[in-house]
Homo-oligomer: A and B are copies of this chain.
Amino acid sequence: MTADASAAPRRAGRPLEMVLSRTRITAAALALITTEGYGGFTMSSLARTLKVAPSALYNHVSSKQEVLQWLEDHVMTMVDVSGFGSEPWDDAMRRWAWSYRDVFARHSPLVPLVAVLPVTGAPETLKMYETVAVGLAGAGVPVETIIPAIVAVESFIFGSALDANAPADIFDTGELADSSPTFTAAVLGQDRSTGERPADVAFQFGLEALLAAVPATRPGPDA
């Protein structure tokens, strides 16, 4: 209950900023993944970044899985919720959903982890949910619809984040074109005139469909 409960004891010869902590481990993990990718992220490489033996990490973290959960919660911080409270609810949702998808497209290995991450250990994630829930409630969406709406949009976002990493030729049927004429025609018949990436066209389509189904009764705080 002191004013600064998180202050670490300072010792001569080991400067304060060198003490391991959730914050510092998470920051190091993010930096490592940004430069080396998830393939280069191991407990060893993380320890090397922090100039510490790998075993030292286990004084602060119970597993690699936990580091990834910390990272996941930190990454949520990068999702843009600024529209809620300043834009009509649907524009706020669009801003949120697109940035959410983009963030996790860059961190797709974290996507399967979300299913196992309880909000209790993820305060930033909970903060985001609260902002979105306030936005929807303010738009007149009935209480019992808020969670299904959030979960549905979020599931769509996670699936779309994975899809955003698909190679451009994923649907090229090649020599199997003859056995799948209708699908092949659909692939070739896509509208390429706008120059948008196919993953973005699909995301736009699905997002608008989901937003149209949200039973809001008011346009939002400022509209």
Residues in chain A within 8 A of chain B (CB atoms): 108-109, 111-112, 114-120, 123, 126-127, 129-130, 132-134, 137, 143-160, 162-163, 165-167, 169-176, 179-183, 185-187, 189-191, 198-199, 201-203, 205-206, 208-210, 212-213
The CA of A183 and the CA of B149, in the complex, are separated in Å by 12
The answer, among B126, B151, B183, for a CB contact under 8 Å with A133, is B183
Residue of A109, A133, A150, A151 with most partner-chain B CB within 10 A: A151
- Min CB distance A140 to B, Å, is 13
Q: Verify B144–A198 contact, CB threshold 8 A.
A: no
- Min CB distance A221 to B, Å, is 14
Given known A147-B187, A171-B147, contact A152–B203 (CB-CB < 8 A): yes
Q: How many copies does the complex hold?
A: 2
Q: Verify A115–B108 contact, CB threshold 8 A.
A: yes
Contacts of A202 in B (CB 8 A): 147-149, 151-152, 155
Chain B residue with the shortest CB-CB distance to A176: B126
- Min CB distance A138 to B, Å, is 9
Given known A176-B123, A186-B143, contact A156–B115 (CB-CB < 8 A): no
The answer, among B132, B152, B160, B180, for a CB contact under 8 Å with A130, is B180
The CA of A186 and the CA of B182, in the complex, are separated in Å by 44
